[in-house]
A and B are shown apart, each in its own frame.
Chain A
Amino acid sequence: MTDAITCRRLSKSYSGVVALDDFSLDAPEGQVLGLVGPSGSGKTTALRLIAGFERPDDGSVEVAGVTVVDHTTFVPPERRRVGMVFQDFALFPHMTVGDNVAYGLPKGAERRRRVAGVLEMVGLSGMEKRMPHELSGGEQQRVALARALAPSPAVVLLDEPFSNLDAPQRERVRREVRSILVEAKATALFVTHDQEEALAVSDVMAVMRDGTVLQSAAPHDLYRRPADRWVARFLGEGEFLDGTVSGGVVDTALGRFPVDTDLSGPVEVLIRPEHVRLTEDEGGSALVVEREFYGHDQLVTLHIDGGRRLLARAGPDVIFNPGDHARYEITEVVVFGAVSSP
């Protein structure tokens, strides 16, 4: 598999504030890469350097095998073959939908057909004459995507593409955008601060912090095998405890669990709430101290062993109320080296 984007050791700072520091990333062709990190981690800066809106202080970027920036080269954004979908969609308000989509296409007979084709792909056939302000947020989103895809760029960048949408439509638009990208066989790099969104949409995801990529892998692998405590915490809730690995088994204060790891010796152990099975039992050893009900499930905070905290996710059918006792069983744990945690 070739890479549509290759970033090598990019760094960038703004008047002394470091935004990117030794940032390297590969976006495999034809896949959706999610770049996720808390705000201030440098995600948007990375995107702007790839698009060519800014110059890095150091490092290089290749798009489809062509170097677009390094310490001797700088290709301006209009010649990079990089499409971009902006957080605020950035549709040209004085142009129709059709003119917006046609903006990046060469003049000629092909143009109109391509506009119609791309609009059909995003499910907006026949909307050419509408003005952007006449569309709903989700439709504007799809026009922005169509406009970026129309010139067949080597890669499409999406900057927080779903954050401008209301919660109810966000998940639907997320699915639509993903299927459009897959149908267009486009390589996409999208940036988000929302780890759930990244887990749901990405083929490959990269977690960023303080201007650098901490870990990148398929969402499933990332969730199951976080490289360190910070990545683990960023991707989901859980409780940490110490343990010792020997012979494929980790020994902790809460018992011994089989693990699939190359590590041995002292490790950190993470227990995800979904790996704690909870059963109603008046004589159980866990005391329910807090419960948040989400509809599809509930997150229950337990006190066990005289004060140790444990989080458990339970189905919606049996309600656990503070003060109840319950029985718990840990089905699986995640381990990682105890060195790099803050």
Chain B
Amino acid sequence: MTSAPAPAPVETPLTAPPPPDTRSPRPRTRAPAWLWIPVLVALLPTLVPFGFLIGRVLGESSAAARVVLSANTARLVWNTSLLIVVVVATTAVVGVAAAWLTERTDLPGRRLWRVVVALPLVIPSYVIALALLSATGPRGLIGDWFGFTVPSLIGLPGAWVALTIATYPFVYLTTATALRRMDPAHEEAARGLGASQWRVFRTIVVPQLRPSLGAGLLLVALYTLSDFGAVSLVRFDSFTRVVYAQYAGRLDRTPAAVLAVLLVLLALIVVWAERATRGRAAYHGRQVSRPARIARLGTGGRLAALSGLGALALVSLGMPIATLVGWLGRGTGPSRPFPWDAVGGSVLGSLLAAALVAVLALPTAVLVTRHASRATAWAERAAYTVFALPHITVGLAMVFFSARYLGGWYQSLTLLVLVYGSIFFAQALGSARSSLLQVSPSIEDASRSLGAGPIRTMLRVTAPMMRRGLIAGALLVFLTTMKELPVTLLLRPTGFDTLAVDIWSAADAFLYSRAAAPALLLIAVSAIPMYLLATRER
């Protein structure tokens, strides 16, 4: 339950006893049963197959135990953990440094840098990997253009660089927000007690950043763990790549199922590890009225900062885009017309997913805000859990489940869109929920007392007032569906092509010139909703 609006001030008669304020929080009424249908439609397409997958693995426990205890699995765990550690460490340094420079220093062009540093978010990891691979090595574009050869970024180095570029914006964004909201009084107090600027940063700023830095790094670790596109292209044997290879290349599918479940266990361990390292201090956000103190960098410092951020932008934005553009003109592979069918597939799938999620998010937002209860809290938690599940596991679970129970639905567009809607549901629910929270519940009560039933009220009053939140959520789902790779690979109907699949298949076969145009198009299309979301927020 959320807190009630502050009770109106009571004008107490001079001699009256002060009335005891026992006003309870605004009561919630129980939801009608039909209001649960949309949230079930959203979550069951993921949860049921996932439960089936776990049941299958438990049912074959001896075979499963063999897979778990094999030397190969130990190597996989080691590889994946190593990748997570190096990516988390690098993104922590890069993200925090970039956030501090753009939020707390007199760096020239800070406003522009804030956008530039966050921009790699629109480039999917497999496009970054594609660019890295095609720029480096003996046949790479860097060798062509500059006359020297950079060692090919295959294996761990490739996965490390690609995922660092793809994920440091998470750390940057959470940290920058925290820096902006931090109460400058703490830092001023420390300075007043004689601490140097560096000591203030180390002992005051960093500990207060801990919660948001932790959240950002948790995102990085989960992303790295479940990323399929980049690791498969650079041929680094982390979990997702091997799960897919086991599924695609072997008749016995038990190992793939077991590894897919193990992957989820690893994700749980990552979440638990982040919780376990949280400190005990509580940091209370306060309304900050004053801007924080801005550090002076000095001429040398500015130069260093500018070249550091410049290098970051060059590697994370300039390199991928320049490489892709460079490949546009070259035709090494067999020439092929522009893949319009893939564009059509991407747009169709993403539009359907966005529309489905918007339709489901509206009643679900009403359910979880207007009828909040323990059950709705669990439903919300389930939506976020589904969002965090590695897509390769979700896709594989659905492959097994539909092959067994859904027969004709397997590899149908309907099923694919249902799964898209399910895994990205939480994104739209989040924004729908927060926009509904700004609408006074009495507006819906007013509609009811004027003779409108619950459904007419939802369509004529609630939906128009949530319009912004619903559109923002749908845009976000459109954007993420466009970039989605593993679920699409596993569940797409025969002949149904998307940009993501097209790029990945071409890059996997080293046909870089063929991948370049769709990759650039995907970046451009992804940038549009991003731009709309960014401008809406102001």
What residues make up the interface of A, taking CB atoms closer than 8 Å to B?
14-15, 17, 19, 38-41, 45, 48, 51-55, 76-80, 82-84, 86-88, 90-94, 103-104, 147-148, 151, 160, 163, 193-196, 230, 233-239, 299, 311, 342
Contacts and interface: CB of A to CB of B under 8 A. Distances in A.
B300 interface: no
Contacts of A15: 24
Contact of B450 (A52, A151, A234, A236): A151
A53 B452 CA distance: 13
Contacts of B10: 38-39, 193
A233 B15 contact: yes
Given A84-B446, A103-B452, A194-B11, A14 B27 contact: yes
Given A90-B446, A92-B443, A40 B451 contact: no
Contacts of A90: 440, 442-443, 445-446
Given A40-B19, A237-B14, A80 B447 contact: no
A237 B451 contact: no
Contacts of B13: 195, 233-237
Contacts of A103: 447, 450, 452
Given A93-B465, A103-B450, A195-B13, A39 B21 contact: yes
Interface of B: 7-8, 10-11, 13-17, 19-25, 27, 29, 440, 442-443, 445-454, 461, 464-465
Contacts of B29: 53-55
A13 to B, nearest CB: 9
A82 B15 contact: no
B23 A83 contact: no
Nearest to A309: B15
Contacts of A45: 27
Given A39-B10, A86-B442, A87-B442, A238 B449 contact: no
Contact of A39 (B19, B443, B451, B453): B19
B431 to A, nearest CB: 18
B453 A76 contact: yes
A84 B8 contact: no
A151 B451 CA distance: 9
A313 B13 CA distance: 14
A17 B17 contact: no
A311 B13 CA distance: 12
Contacts of B19: 38-41
Nearest to B29: A54
A40 B7 CA distance: 9
Contact of A86 (B11, B16, B22, B446): B446
Contact of B7 (A39, A235, A236): A39
Nearest to B32: A76
B20 A104 contact: no
Given A90-B445, A94-B464, A160-B8, A237 B15 contact: yes
Contacts of A84: 445-446, 449
Nearest to A79: B451
Given A51-B449, A78-B448, A193-B10, A234 B16 contact: yes
A82 B453 contact: no
Contact of B8 (A41, A55, A163): A163
Contacts of A230: 17
